[in-house]
């Protein structure tokens, strides 16, 4: 197969192309309308189709005689556990849990939040929701109760499913008190909290709304899959935007199932039966698409990994898992490889394991730097495939589509547009740029199946955030360029979203928290380059006049505040005090200028700046605290 031919066909004849791909999954009612539009003109896929994604992920494989195949391998170095679950075992547990949820009153169209660590019960909970048409919203465990409360108030769950605890390297994090705190902070009251007790000794304060997970499963009958319409929301996944409030990305069911199935075959080139491992967290888009739904739809064995690339117990963990479970395809973020490289620069651990089953290494979540790519290649000579996608898309938009035609890798490029994505580079005026000119990465509508249906109950933000700037195009928020061969290079966000260790975070949200400190008059949070995490946040604050707070005290208090309000995952470690922030004469804070100063990039002081002397003060301050490029 030739990439060019199949790609061009997908762009020229989207309906025909995606009608054919829809045949790769089983429907209760096959869609007759392939592509239509909603009342706002936004594309809808398979409008009249009916299916159930839990059926496709589990029951179908059992009916096809593959019930004894291992579906999940739970590998948890932090609890020293390896446990395997067959498709039949998973289906029994999921169908009973779904039955139990129904007995608690949960029904099609309700929402449920899942706030859990990386354990099989998280996957069971997601699948149980999907089985009965309950819309799940998984919240990453690294977020604090305040963040959880924001999500509770936004999607108003009828139930929350949680576990007694998570484990972060060597510390136990009791989840239940965090859930109770979030419920107390929120205005909406979920009816039930289903708690899976891991029996690791965490405190589980009892509340009237609690239901024990094990007792619920034990006492329930298996329930069948509930057919849902193709556009029935499968889940809401919150992601960071440019305001203080996260966006609830809504995913459909039918388009998503078709797109994931397509991607497993044509992008990842994975055959059924193989072991596929995405070392991410179920709380991110990668977790939803490539730990859970994608591999299961394709009848792959998938790994639920509870650990980190390093320190659990050391930098050999990835290689042990690949070798022990015969992983054929792996997916992680470049930051994880950088962490391993730092601990084991000569790849000594790699030599101790048989990695012969590993065919391809996929990377995403942030830009893949050349040094990481080279180090990997030097120690493991297999294709390292950078690919680009977003929570909004749910599956890759730019990739080396290995199942179609393997193209040569160009360092720094995620390769070419995936089938269905007509990717262009625009300038601010919406003119298409020529080869090698850097601009805004946009995608011509219609976006292919699998992309977001909307932002949960916020049509205005959906339109304004993505479709207003350029009529007929999706604005990705990333910058980049295309070379003369059509290879696309993503250069980074063009907005205030930052990427910390593969985690997408909003500086606007952090600014709100920093600004709430009683000594802060004004502040800006920017993302600056970090060797390990790609980017880390830096807060620049102006204190209230007459406030004599010590720098160290202010820094510690702000760090604590951000950890309390957003969560440890925000990784804010540096706070500096400046007399003023650089602004234009109209009062706009020049964040890009500060970022360039911290990263040591060439910069031009905008002619609109109200006071040029501030630039010198920022340089002096960053030098004093050894921050960014001055960290030497």
* Residue 241 is a binding residue for ligand COA (CB under 6 A): no
In the complex with ligand COA, the residue whose CB is nearer, 220 or 312, is 312
In the complex with ligand COA, the residue whose CB is nearer, 44 or 149, is 149
173 binds, among ligand AMP, ligand COA, none (CB under 5 to 8 A by kind): ligand COA
Location of structure tokens 């007399």: 579
The answer to whether 137 touches 91, Cβ cutoff 8 Å, is no
Q: Least distance (Å) from ligand AMP to the CB of residue 316?
A: 26
477, containing H or E segment: strand 473-482
The answer to whether 71 touches 42, Cβ cutoff 8 Å, is no
566 beta partners: none
Location of structure tokens 């790699």: 350
* Residue 502 is a binding residue for ligand COA (CB under 6 A): yes
Long-range contacts at 207-214 (CB < 8 A, ≥ 24 apart): 207/180, 209/183, 211/104, 213/97, 213/121, 213/161, 213/163
Long-range contacts at 317-322 (CB < 8 A, ≥ 24 apart): 317/77, 318/279, 319/349, 319/350, 319/352, 319/353, 319/355, 320/353, 321/75, 321/277, 322/277, 322/353, 322/355, 322/357, 322/358
In the complex with ligand AMP, the residue whose CB is nearer, 443 or 558, is 443
577 binds, among ligand AMP, ligand COA, none (CB under 5 to 8 A by kind): none
Helix, strand, coil abundance in the chain, percent, nearest 5? 30, 25, 45
477 binds, among ligand COA, ligand AMP, none (CB under 5 to 8 A by kind): ligand AMP
In the complex with ligand AMP, the residue whose CB is nearer, 49 or 287, is 287
Q: Pick from 135, 333, 402, 575: which binds ligand COA (CB under 6 A)?
A: 333
Q: Which of 356, 406, 365, 403 has the alpha carbon at shortest distance from 386?
A: 365
In the complex with ligand COA, the residue whose CB is nearer, 286 or 417, is 286
280 binds, among ligand AMP, ligand COA, none (CB under 5 to 8 A by kind): ligand COA
* 597-616 burial: b if 16+ Cβ within 10 Å, else e: bbeeeeeeeeeebeeeebbe
In the complex with ligand AMP, the residue whose CB is nearer, 33 or 494, is 494
> Helix (H, G, I), strand (E, B), or coil: what is residue 70?
strand
Residues that bind ligand AMP (CB under 6 A): 239, 284-285, 364-367, 386-391, 414, 477-478, 490, 493, 499, 504
In the complex with ligand AMP, the residue whose CB is nearer, 101 or 398, is 398
The answer to whether 43 touches 276, Cβ cutoff 8 Å, is no
In the complex with ligand AMP, the residue whose CB is nearer, 274 or 478, is 478
> Helix (H, G, I), strand (E, B), or coil: what is residue 399?
strand
CA-CA-CA-CA torsion sign (332, 480, 566, 205) = negative
Q: Which of 467, 454, 464 has the alpha carbon at shortest distance from 248?
A: 454
* Residue 280 is a binding residue for ligand COA (CB under 6 A): yes
Interface stretch with ligand COA, choices 166-174, 230-238, 367-375, 579-587 (CB under 6 A): 166-174
Q: Least distance (Å) from ligand AMP to the CB of residue 398?
A: 7
Q: Pick from 31, 255, 295, 365: which binds ligand COA (CB under 6 A)?
A: 365
CA distance 328 to 383: 12
Q: Least distance (Å) from ligand AMP to the CB of residue 464?
A: 18
Distance of CA 206 to the CA centre of its chain: 32
* Residue 562 is a binding residue for ligand COA (CB under 6 A): no
10 binds, among ligand COA, ligand AMP, none (CB under 5 to 8 A by kind): none
Burial class (CB in 10 A: 0-12, 13-18, 19+), 619: middle
Q: Pick from 49, 99, 142, 241: which binds ligand COA (CB under 6 A)?
A: 142
CA distance 367 to 412: 7
* Residue 174 is a binding residue for ligand COA (CB under 6 A): no
DSSP letter (8 states) at residue 406: P
In the complex with ligand COA, the residue whose CB is nearer, 111 or 332, is 332
Q: Which of 275, 276, 179, 285 has the alpha carbon at shortest distance from 237?
A: 285
Ramachandran assignment for 156, one of left (phi > 0), alpha (psi -120 to 50 degrees), beta (any other):
left
Q: Pick from 71, 195, 524, 569: which binds ligand COA (CB under 6 A)?
A: 569
In the complex with ligand COA, the residue whose CB is nearer, 42 or 196, is 196
Q: How many CA atoms lie within 13 A of 548 on its CB side?
A: 0
* Residue 330 is a binding residue for ligand COA (CB under 6 A): no
Q: Least distance (Å) from ligand COA to the CB of residue 364?
A: 5
Going residue by residue from 285 to 324, which x/- string records binding to ligand COA, judged by CB under 6 A?
-x---------------------xxx--------------
126 binds, among ligand AMP, ligand COA, none (CB under 5 to 8 A by kind): none
Q: Least distance (Å) from ligand COA to the CB of residue 339?
A: 4
CA distance 106 to 99: 9
490 binds, among ligand COA, ligand AMP, none (CB under 5 to 8 A by kind): ligand AMP
Q: Least distance (Å) from ligand AMP to the CB of residue 505?
A: 9
* Residue 379 is a binding residue for ligand COA (CB under 6 A): no
In the complex with ligand AMP, the residue whose CB is nearer, 77 or 294, is 294
The footprint of ligand COA (CB under 6 A) covers 141-142, 166, 168, 173, 279-280, 284, 286, 308-310, 332-333, 335-336, 339, 364-365, 501-503, 568-569, 571
């Amino acid at each position: 197969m030739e990439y060019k031919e199949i790609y061009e066909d997908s762009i020229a004849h989207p309906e025909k192309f995606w009608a054919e791909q829809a045949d790769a999954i089983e429907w209760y009612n096959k869609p007759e309308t392939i592509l239509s539009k909603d009342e706002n003109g936004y594309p809808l896929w398979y409008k009249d189709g009916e299916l159930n994604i839990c059926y496709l992920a589990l029951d179908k494989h059992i009916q096809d005689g593959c019930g004894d195949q291992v579906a999940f391998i739970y590998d948890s170095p932090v609890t020293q556990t390896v446990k395997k679950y067959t498709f039949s075992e998973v289906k029994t547990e999921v169908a009973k849990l779904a039955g139990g949820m129904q007995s608690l009153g949960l029904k099609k169209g309700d929402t449920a939040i899942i706030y859990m660590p990386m354990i099989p019960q998280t996957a069971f909970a997601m699948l149980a929701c999907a089985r009965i048409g309950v819309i799940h919203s998984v919240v990453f465990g690294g977020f604090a109760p305040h963040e959880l409360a924001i999500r509770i108030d936004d999607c108003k769950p009828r139930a929350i499913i949680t576990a007694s605890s998570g484990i972060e390297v060597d510390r136990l994090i009791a989840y239940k008190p965090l859930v109770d705190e979030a419920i107390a902070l929120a205005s909406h009251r979920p009816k039930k909290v289903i708690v899976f007790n891991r029996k690791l000794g965490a405190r589980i304060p009892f509340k009237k709304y609690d239901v024990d997970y094990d007792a619920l499963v034990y006492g329930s009958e298996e329930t069948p899959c509930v057919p849902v319409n193709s556009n029935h929301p499968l889940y809401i996944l919150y992601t960071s935007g440019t305001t203080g409030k996260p966006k609830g990305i809504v995913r459909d069911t039918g388009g998503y199932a078709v797109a994931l199935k397509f991607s497993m075959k044509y992008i990842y080139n994975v055959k059924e039966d193989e072991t596929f491992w995405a070392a991410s967290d179920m709380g991110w888009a990668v977790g939803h698409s490539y730990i859970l739904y994608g591999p299961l739809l394709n009848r792959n064995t998938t790994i639920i990994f509870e650990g980190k690339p390093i320190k659990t117990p050391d930098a050999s963990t990835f290689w042990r898992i690949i070798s022990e479970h015969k992983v054929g395809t792996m997916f992680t973020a470049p930051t994880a490889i950088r962490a391993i490289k730092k601990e084991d620069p000569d790849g000594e651990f790699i030599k101790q394991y048989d990695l012969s089953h590993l065919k391809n290494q996929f990377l995403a979540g942030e830009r893949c730097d050349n040094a990481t790519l080279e180090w990997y290649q030097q120690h493991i000579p297999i294709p390292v495939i950078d690919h680009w996608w977003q929570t909004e898309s749910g599956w890759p938009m730019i990739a080396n589509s290995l199942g179609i035609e393997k193209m040569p890798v160009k360092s720094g490029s995620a390769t070419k547009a995936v089938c269905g994505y007509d990717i262009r580079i625009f300038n601010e005026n919406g003119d298409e740029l020529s080869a090698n000119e850097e601009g805004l990465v946009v995608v011509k509508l219609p976006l292919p199946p699998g992309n977001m249906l909307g932002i949960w109950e916020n049509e205005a933000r959906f339109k304004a955030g993505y479709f207003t700037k350029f009529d007929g195009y999706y604005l990705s928020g990333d910058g980049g360029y295309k070379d003369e061969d059509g290879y696309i290079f993503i250069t980074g966000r063009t907005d205030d979203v930052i990427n910390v260790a593969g985690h997408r975070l909003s500086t606007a949200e952090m600014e709100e928290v920093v600004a709430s400190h009683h000594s802060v008059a004004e502040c800006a949070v920017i993302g600056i380059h970090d060797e390990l995490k790609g980017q880390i946040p830096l807060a620049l604050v102006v204190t209230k006049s007459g406030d004599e707070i010590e720098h160290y005290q202010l820094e510690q208090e702000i760090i604590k505040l951000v950890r309390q309000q957003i969560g440890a995952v925000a990784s804010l470690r540096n706070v500096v005090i400046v007399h003023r922030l650089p602004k234009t004469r109209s009062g706009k804070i020049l964040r890009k200028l500060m970022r360039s100063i911290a990263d040591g990039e060439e910069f031009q002081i905008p002619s609109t700046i109200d006071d040029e002397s501030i630039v010198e003060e920022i340089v002096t301050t960053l030098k004093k605290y050894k921050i960014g490029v001055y960290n030497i």
